Chain A
């Protein structure tokens, strides 16, 4: 059974810092991996989607990497801003398209 773990559970950094969020999964037979952002009381917003054949994806200040063989992904946020404060969720997709989520990393960026 696929399990997704995110470390750390919470992170507080000063504005301007570069930071890395970690995600690990137990079954490397994944279809793709997605990173989502969730603001308090809101739904999920897709940030980056990495296909199983890809190694990384970039969008603006965000860069996500995928190492299937080791069951790991990282989300790199450059020059963090207070507006980046949210919970970041990692999810892996199986062959049927179902997503399995980690419990998230709650990020707080202090001005």
Chain B
């Protein structure tokens, strides 16, 4: 398996633009997580899905953020409109319950100018 695949690896966008981050979890994993990492706040859980259903989105900072998981092999995190304070590394992770643990993607480094 190629692991958790995120795209793009880097994104530079202007304030006010829409940004879409993509994630392909490991085949067979039934949970998917979106995290954001910044120097100040560390790794924060934004939202997670179980069997494609959003379980907890309390970590989503604002209504500008939305996430979808239309099927078991794909998820998106969208920011609209983007702001400079959204600049961070966004990680996607997937797991199969608590037995196997978590596998993280390589992350998307987002810069909003």
Q: Which residues of A contact B (CB under 8 A)?
A: 31-32, 34, 36, 42-46, 49, 51, 89, 91, 93, 96-104
Sorted nearest first, the 4 A-B pairs with minimum C-beta distance are: A101-B43, A103-B42, A44-B104, A49-B101
B55 interface residue per 8 A CB criterion = yes
Main secondary structure of the interface of A (DSSP, over half): strand
B73 to nearest A CB, angstroms?
Answer: 18
* B101 in contact with A31 (CB, 8 Å): no
Rounded to whole Å, the gap between the CB of B42 and the closest CB of chain A is 4
Return chain A residues, CB-CB under 8 Å to B101: 32, 34, 46, 49
Which residues in B have some Cβ–Cβ distance to A below 8 Å? Answer: 31, 33, 35, 42-45, 48, 50, 55-56, 91, 93, 95, 97-99, 101-107
Contacts A34-B102, A43-B106 supplied; 14 other A-B pairs, CB < 8 Å: A31-B98, A43-B91, A46-B104, A89-B43, A93-B98, A96-B50, A96-B56, A97-B95, A97-B97, A98-B33, A98-B55, A98-B56, A101-B35, A102-B42
